[in-house]
Amino acid sequence: MKITAQEEYGLRCLLQLARTPQGQLVSVKEIAAKEGLSSANVEKLLRLLAKAGLVHSVRGIRGGYVLNRPAASITLGEVVRAMGKMESTNHICTSYTGQRDACVHFSDCGIRSVWSGLTTYIQSFLDQTTLASLLDNEYNVAERLARRMSGTA
């Protein structure tokens, strides 16, 4: 699975909103300055997030953006789907880079189930990881995610 720049930057914009007290508006300029992005790019990302129902905007001189729900109820899976297209198991083995028109293993493949399982695991992991869980410092986030992956969380 590839994480695109758009998906990462969209997530970073949401984290900026999640760090502010609930209900407090954050302007596009503030987010752009904190993330080192252009205001135009941040506006585009926030429009996609608004279309997905994750944020909403308030117009006016003191306007800005705010999360539609608490950070603890917004998952990374929702963010990835809002920003692009989350890989599905349906797309596994639909393209082939060999010299033939189709993979020679299409009808009996020993590794397709591995790619499918990995894709399903990643989707599940993203759907279970919330914005709130990423608001801590990097070390604590990494430790928490490692515990969850090992089944001890």
Q: Minimal CA–CA distance to 23: which of 62, 61, 54, 69?
A: 69
Structure tokens at 57: 């905007």
**What is the predicted pLDDT for the residue at 110?**
77
Domains of the chain: total: 1
| Cβ atoms of residues 86 and 14 within 8 Å | no
**What is the predicted pLDDT for the residue at 147?**
85
Question: Which residue range(s) make up the domain with 139?
Answer: 5-150
CATH code, 38 = 1.10.10.10
pLDDT by residue (tens digit) across 4-52? 889 999 999 999 999 999 889 999 999 999 999 999 999 999 999 999 9
| Cβ atoms of residues 149 and 121 within 8 Å | no
pLDDT by residue (tens digit) across 138-151? 788 888 888 888 87
Alpha helix ranges (H) inside the chain: 5-18, 28-35, 39-51, 76-83, 112-128, 138-150
pLDDT by residue (tens digit) across 80-135? 999 887 665 556 666 666 677 767 666 777 777 887 888 888 888 899 999 999 99
**What is the predicted pLDDT for the residue at 17?**
97
Contacts of 3 (CB under 8 A, 6+ apart): 80
